[in-house]
Structure 1
Amino acid sequence: MSELITQPDKLRADAAECALIRDLATDRDKRELFARLAEHLSTLAAEVERAADLSER
């Protein structure tokens, strides 16, 4: 169960790193790629949190 608690934090940290790379990228395609990755990782973090909440019930 503790893995489900730490995973959203890791995913959010990875999303933040992707957002930073997006902001620093000079290539349009890379900016778009890292923007999509950041959004996807944030969504995954929310889903893992939701799953952990459901499993605690």
Structure 2
Amino acid sequence: MSKFCQISGKGPMVGNNVSHANNKTKRRFLPNLRTIRVDLGDGTTRKIRVAASTLRTLRKKRAN
């Protein structure tokens, strides 16, 4: 399963772990993905993976 948000397209970023001695090793920053159920309108539902930040935005837009 890929680590991408299916709505916003957010994916992993790369960076460095930096130790106290200033040694640098590669690391990945993964998005905070949540699996949610979405109603497609015709009575069917589908599970999609959405970033938590995108989910917050969707809920904010829906409330207004």
TM-score (norm 2): 0.34
Higher relative contact order (CA 8 A, sep 6+): 1
Higher Cα radius of gyration: 2
More helix per residue: 1
More strand per residue: 2
